[in-house]
Chains A and B, each alone.
Chain A
Amino acid sequence: MASLTPLSGTLGTAKAAHLLRRATFGTKQAEIENFANMTVTQATNLLLTAPPAPTPPIDPSTNQTWVFTDNTTQGTYRLYLTAWWMHNMMQSQTSAVEKMIFFLHTHFTSKFSVVRISASVYHQLELFRHYAFGDWRKLTVKMTYDNAMLRFLDGRTNRKNSPNENYARELLELYSIGKGPQIGEGNYTNYTEDDVQAAARVLTGWNVDESYQTIDPETGLAAGRVRVNGAGIPNQHDIGDKQFSAAFQNTLIQGTNTEAGIRGEAEQLIHMIFNQTATAENICRKLYRFFVNYRITDEIEQDIIAPLAQTFITQNFQIKPVLEQLLQSEHFYDADDTTEGDHHFGALLKSPLELFTQTLNFFEIDLPDPATQLSAHYTSFSRGARHFLPAMGMIPYEPIETAGYPAYHQEPNFNRNWVSANTIAYRYKFIQNLQEGTQLVGGSLGYELDPLPYVENATYFQDISDPVLLVQDLAKYLFAIDLPVERMDYFTKDILVDGLDLGYWSQLWLDYQLTSDASEVRSRLKGLINAMLQTPEYQLG
């Protein structure tokens, strides 16, 4: 059976690399080997500890941040914020915090183009960070009056006499309990159309505060506020009682007319939803699909999802114990004997974001540090990721629809939705551009993947002059599984030595040592990296 029993012993390279591919945005070989010597407990202790929050993004024209003051919508602030976000991802290395923040963004989706105000998006990201390993139920309460969300799903226009049910519907359908089978007119098993309307009424009377003066005492972050009249009395909240269906045990949420009461109603609503086991199960299913495999069989439902959901419930919706249990489990490492749905290594197509960050981090390509090279930091983003990611099918903070990036919800293909005939070609083109140091749109990228200094400086190569060992040492970290011998032969014999004798490469390497003429070995190595990374195998993580 599929098993949540913790894996015993130390991880070893393959399992450590698998864990880091799934739980981080990539790191270098030395860190993978560091994890290889750890037990799963040691590994998750390190992964699930958040480093200090990064300092906010800086506007280079003022050398100040704008995220507590400026609610204008200039596109440059979007660029700065996205660059800052990606820098955080790439810096997170062996912490899972940024992967969790990204996961939470895929779950509680917002689209930048709808929110439009970068400061509000910043506060939403920081809200994700605050609860990345914490209380998911509380995060859901806070999300309900998060400024970006109040804009994205129209909570700010949801008023007593004209309820707007946009957020209430997605709260139920996407953010918490999820839709069950439709079993009748307006009845989706887990909730009904009437529940959507009742939830919308509970959440009437909120507005954004884009002066960022309303600070949530629990998070210290800016939040939305209750709409009040000139005398400070709430005036847009529906004070009537809200009746929910049998799906929620006919819960009645009593109407209130004070600010505290209105906050209390939102909390009661979220607690009512989380009191249903289906909510914990739905969230655990999403976690599983994101971190392990999009295929969920009955066996996995029973042996993995159900006990994870129980952990989630008994731990009062703290997410960290659930992540620990999952990422430590024999199941995660294919070390159990699941009858079906096993072999998770390489079973998920990497997102464009993962392909980008994991490639740069593995090859230790350092991008400019905003602390010391602020404008170069923004330039490197606008020349690179800003074009590469959309070409590969992803615009950061801009999922195509409210349900999020299709890779994380669209049955039956899930992660396969990242690729089409077009986007797979751009994944390959990205590798080519990276090795040439060119932008997708032409011109210099400002950084490049030069494999020659990489292999020379790395200490893990057993013998660079041995073509078989060289390819083996790289493949061990670049691919999620051991590739068949003929594929390794292809990289070694057809590519590196170009169909010639294996000794050809050794001779080239020796010549390079003697003459310092790097052109030939660099060209061979670039050919090798192109051949290994412009493959379907490298897309799988």
Chain B
Amino acid sequence: MKRRDFLSAIGPLAAAPLLLNGIPVRAMSNQFLKKFAMNADNDRVLILVQLHGGNDGLNTIIPLNSYAEYVNLRPNIAIPDTGSRAYLPVDTTLPSDQQAAFHPDMADAKSLYDDGKMNIVQGVTYPNTNQSHFRGRDIWFGGGSYDEFKSSGWMGRYLEFIFPDFPEGHPSQDMPDPVGLEVGGAVSFGFQRDSGVPAAIAVEDPVAFFDLINGVGGALPTNIQGTHFGEELSYLMGLEQQANDYAARLKSVYESGTNSASVTYPTTYSGTAPANYQDNELAWQLQLIARLLAGGIKTKVFLTRLSRFDTHNDQTLSNDPTMGAHAALLYHLSTAMKAFQDDLQALGLEDRVLSMTFSEFGRRPTSNGSFGTDHGKAAPMLVFGKGVNGGMTGLSPDLSDLDSSNNLKMQYDYRDVFIDVLENWMGADKPTIDYTFDNRTGDPNINLINPNFATDIDNPDFSQKPALYPNTPNPVQDETLVRFFLAKHSHVKIGLFDMQGKELTTLVDEDRAQGVHELTYQVTHLTAGTYMLAMEAEGYYAARKMVVK
């Protein structure tokens, strides 16, 4: 939002000096710092697909191991085992307790599965699943447990941790793009940080976004008071700054990228469903992401959404349980993911992209009389990509063994699924996981990433990798404790940098033994502001934000 443009747009006013001059690319010239985040340095990206409203997992992946109970619990909406619209068995060679089938409108998903590009993680939720949409979504986005009220989302924490210079040092030469991108008009709670602007921007049409941003706005205020008015003002200014910073870049990335000519993205459902379920809401979002990736966007986490999963009513047609609202949604999901995967393959991007679905809860095994299902608990998460370990994680739900509220039992905690992906796909180190998911250690039974794609095949174990922990306390008043870990005796260098990437001082530059080391650092000579501590050891680079009060 440039002052010059809105002035020129209204006629003969003389152009005033340009205050926000294009993309302020902030120099980060220091080579040492440039490599700061091994995690942020790879080119892997994560696509999250939110199934908004609570997906009925049991009609998505049908449990063949307890099919009789399945039909018995939901006779009016059960997917049949015979006929032209019978379910599609996932893989008849799986053990009997993993036998399951896709909804008949998920043939495309089955083909991804058959190609080894899909993993079905069964029974995902968290202990004491909250059956409120809103609280449920806050928990999934917040990355906490049922009784924690987070003020930030796990994606926001992950991104601000791997980009310790965000937002002050962004965009930069190394990260010219938004760290997170949500396709849509608003940014979800998952990208929120504890304070300040979210770690993502929301965009639907990069060209229109650029034109819009450049046509409006004015000079921003400079004197901000410490009132609530001032707090809101700062927030709005941060958003304007973000919009300015990224609009031109997104347009250029979009215009230099293309989708593959050989792939056609789906647009409508081919079966019978209510009018508002006909259009494929997901396909164009994935198509946009593929094009941005082809154009060179470096954004790490993308969020898309497929909505209207809250199928209390008319989930299926009354005369055909294989069609209707939910069938259309599954068709949209399945066909969009297949087209996206084919597009990525044709564009040569398949090695870089992993996609996964999530939903605030599953639905109850027992259907209601309205050809629908009420709020339930566990449900499958679907993970797609060439880097995925194809197959099924966990067992098909046993419908003869429900919990005390007649819901599916949990097999995996949703946080452990995300941890596995962050760690083994995105290459997150231990401090990153600790920060993002409150020192949670993950679940060794979840192995979603193909070993050929694992970010560190030799050393899957955190105890084999060096680590720089966040300094404590932070913000710092007078002194702070810096902790780091060396997997073996080696040379270690830790430097202090300002947000322009200038090294101010070196804290350590010597050989140290294997193990955890600590040092106390006095900050009294530093002016208040944001700094970075960066470490290099054993070919490992990491940087952490340090705020001086």
Give A residues with C-beta under 8 Å from B. Answer: 113, 154, 157, 159, 161-166, 169, 173, 179, 181-186, 188, 193, 196, 293, 295, 341, 343-349, 393, 401-403, 406, 409-413, 415-417, 419-426, 428-429, 432, 435, 480-481, 483-484, 486-487, 490, 494, 498-499, 520, 523-524, 526-527, 530-531, 534-537, 539-540
- State whether A429 touches B216 (Cβ < 8 A): yes
Name the one of B128, B229, B239, B404 contacting A420, with C-beta atoms under 8 angstroms. Answer: B239
Name the one of A185, A196, A413, A527 contacting B128, with C-beta atoms under 8 angstroms. Answer: A185
- State whether A536 touches B240 (Cβ < 8 A): yes
Name the one of B229, B237, B405 contacting A186, with C-beta atoms under 8 angstroms. Answer: B405
- Given A421-B243, A523-B10, also A343-B312 (CB < 8 A): no
- State whether A347 touches B229 (Cβ < 8 A): yes
- State whether B372 touches A164 (Cβ < 8 A): yes
| B16 located at the interface, meaning its Cβ lies under 8 Å from any Cβ of chain A in the complex | yes
- State whether B219 touches A490 (Cβ < 8 A): yes
CA A393 – CA B186 in complex, angstroms?
A: 8
* B46 → chain A closest CB, angstroms: 21
Q: Find chain A residues with CB under 8 A from B216 CB.
A: 425, 428-429, 432, 534
CA A435 – CA B10 in complex, angstroms?
A: 9
List 20 contacting pairs A-B, 8 Å CB cutoff, sorted by A. Answer: A157-B312, A161-B369, A162-B369, A166-B312, A181-B147, A182-B135, A402-B310, A411-B149, A411-B151, A420-B185, A420-B239, A422-B185, A422-B204, A425-B217, A425-B243, A481-B227, A481-B229, A483-B221, A536-B221, A540-B232
CA A161 – CA B76 in complex, angstroms?
A: 13
Docked complex: B198-251 residues within 8 A CB-CB of A: 201-204, 209, 212-213, 215-223, 225, 227-229, 231-233, 235-237, 239-240, 242-243, 246
CA A237 – CA B354 in complex, angstroms?
A: 49
Pick out which of these stretches binds chain A: B1-9, B63-71, B491-499: B1-9
- State whether B221 touches A537 (Cβ < 8 A): yes
- State whether A423 touches B186 (Cβ < 8 A): yes
- Given A164-B369, A393-B185, also A498-B221 (CB < 8 A): no
- State whether B203 touches A422 (Cβ < 8 A): yes
Residue of A nearest to B276 (CB): A113
- Given A494-B219, A540-B229, also A421-B147 (CB < 8 A): no
- State whether A486 touches B131 (Cβ < 8 A): no
Write the B379-415 contact mask toward A (1 if CB under 8 angstroms, else 0). 0000000000000000000000000110000000000
* A305 → chain B closest CB, angstroms: 18
| B130 located at the interface, meaning its Cβ lies under 8 Å from any Cβ of chain A in the complex | yes
CA A348 – CA B202 in complex, angstroms?
A: 22
| B21 located at the interface, meaning its Cβ lies under 8 Å from any Cβ of chain A in the complex | no
CA A537 – CA B234 in complex, angstroms?
A: 10
- Given A393-B185, A421-B242, also A343-B209 (CB < 8 A): no
- State whether A164 touches B243 (Cβ < 8 A): no
- State whether B229 touches A185 (Cβ < 8 A): no
* A231 → chain B closest CB, angstroms: 22
Docked complex: B235-290 residues within 8 A CB-CB of A: 235-237, 239-240, 242-243, 246, 276
| B423 located at the interface, meaning its Cβ lies under 8 Å from any Cβ of chain A in the complex | no
- State whether A487 touches B133 (Cβ < 8 A): no
Q: Find chain B residues with CB under 8 A from A412 CB.
A: 151, 192
CA A537 – CA B229 in complex, angstroms?
A: 8
| B12 located at the interface, meaning its Cβ lies under 8 Å from any Cβ of chain A in the complex | yes
- Given A343-B227, A487-B223, A526-B11, also A173-B138 (CB < 8 A): no
CA A320 – CA B389 in complex, angstroms?
A: 62
CA A347 – CA B186 in complex, angstroms?
A: 21
CA A421 – CA B130 in complex, angstroms?
A: 32
